[in-house]
Chains A and B, each alone.
Chain A
Amino acid sequence: EAAVTQSPRNKVAVTGGKVTLSCNQTNNHNNMYWYRQDTGHGLRLIHYSYGAGSTEKGDIPDGYKASRPSQENFSLILELATPSQTSVYFCASGEAYSQNTLYFGAGTRLSVL
């Protein structure tokens, strides 16, 4: 069974602080994605990656950085967290060359106070 693990599951941060959300996948998938979910918007794409060392901007990248140091790990970094970044964040992995079925982690609930 494909496995995507996110940590932490819940996080409270202060405005202006640095937050790192981590994602690990054991699927050996090339593609990994970060989405955020807010009421009324569905899931919106922040950053994604096609493999170790690569990161691409999604639709709402401002205020976020991404890091893909290895095939298994993909991090989302908020250098200066703001209350508008309070949301639920989902990480997903997918295959590159066959059907790109997304496998999701359980999500991280982030509150920025």
Chain B
Amino acid sequence: GMPVEQNPPALSLYEGADSGLRCNFSTTMKSVQWFQQNHRGRLITLFYLAQGTKENGRLKSTFNSKERYSTLHIKDAQLEDSGTYFCAAEANNNAPRFGAGTKLTVKP
């Protein structure tokens, strides 16, 4: 199967709501990255994690290599958070593989 499974495929939130995205891995990964793809198609790096948790403003990401998952939590969603979110995970001696993405729509 796919090495990186991302859920949900789509998510709709109202402004101010909180929610989370998740990636599950079929094998042990050494790192994970999260990206936002904006309406122009540009990929913006949100986080790189080799372990643990990182926060940046309203975003927080966790990576658990042993349990083979990573999460991205969005707090107080804003209209500009709309876009498609991708995780990409890298196993040892291998290139990063992407999940299929989560399309996030934030409504006023």
Using a CB–CB distance below 8 Å, which chain A residues touch chain B?
A: 31, 33, 35, 40-45, 48, 56, 58-59, 88, 90, 94, 99-104, 106-107
Contacts and interface: CB of A to CB of B under 8 A. Distances in A.
A34 B59 CA distance: 28
B95 A99 contact: no
A99 B98 CA distance: 17
Interface in B49-90: 50, 86, 88, 90
13 contacts: A31-B95, A33-B96, A43-B86, A45-B95, A58-B95, A88-B41, A94-B96, A100-B31, A100-B90, A101-B48, A102-B96, A104-B35, A107-B42
Contacts of A35: 98
Given A99-B31, A102-B88, A42 B95 contact: no
Interface residues of B, number: 20
The majority secondary structure among interface residues of chain A is: strand
Interface in B26-40: 31, 33, 35
Nearest to A50: B95
A103 B96 CA distance: 12
Nearest to B4: A42
A80 B99 CA distance: 29
B19 interface: no
Given A48-B95, A100-B96, A102-B43, 10 more contacts: A41-B100, A42-B101, A43-B98, A59-B97, A88-B41, A94-B96, A99-B31, A99-B50, A102-B96, A104-B35
